[in-house]
Amino acid sequence: MLVWIVVAVVVLYFVITYNSLVSVRNNVEKAWSNINVLLKQRHDELPKLIDTCKQYMQHEQATLEKVIQARTQVNEARDSHDVTALGQAEGALRVGLGGLFAVAESYPELKSNQNFLMLQTRITGLENQIADRREFYNDSVYINNVRVQQFPDLIVARLLGFAKESLLKFSSEELVDVDVSQRFNAKL
């Protein structure tokens, strides 16, 4: 009888741990999906911003090209679920957008264009939401990684193929604030 009680407790622990790990893994996937939705929205808005800027910024093609290239890299990383590449591409896009908004300061007609102002506000809002979702994603990954490495849960995790996930990281260069005044003065 004691053997059956021990077996029942082990099976119960195994089931509870498995269900908990499934919940944690699905939370990571949900967090990634939340980021993905916002990246897609931003991806759809950037061509509108670039087209609006092109009308006014005839001599700033390099700035526009940086944003377009970074947008493509973000989309490729997002589609392939490559968290490392996404971090690098996000940094490049952030710098490119900072440069674009800084250069726009020297075009009074562009700064007063309603489409530009609306798109700038929309993209800035999306950037803030993406930052929030990145934090939620990294929190979810942290919880997942602790659970799959912590004894005794690691036994169930290893037996059933639960794995560590990658945190969304940015290099130290990508985390430095863009000096808008320096970029603005360099373009004049």
Residues in the chain: 188
Q: Percent of the chain beyond pLDDT 70?
A: 86
Looking at every residue in the chain, the average pLDDT score rounds to 81
Is residue 182 pLDDT above 50, yes or no?
no
Instruction: Report the C-alpha gap between 105 and 182 in whole angstroms.
Output: 13
* Cis geometry, peptide bond prior to residue 108 (ω within 30 degrees of 0): no
Angle among Cα 112, 115, 120 to the nearest 5 degrees reads 85
Decide if domain 21-187 falls under CATH 1.20.1440.20.
yes
DSSP codes of every residue in 151-179: TTHHHHHHHTT----------HHHHSPP-
Q: pLDDT at position 140, please?
A: 93
Query: What are the residue boundaries of the structural domains of the chain, listed by start?
Result: 21-187
pLDDT band at residue 142 under the 50/70/90 scheme: very high
Q: How far is CA 22 from CA 31, 81, 147, 151, in A?
A: 14, 19, 11, 17
Q: pLDDT at position 186, please?
A: 43
State pTM to two decimals: 0.67
Is residue 80 pLDDT above 80, yes or no?
yes
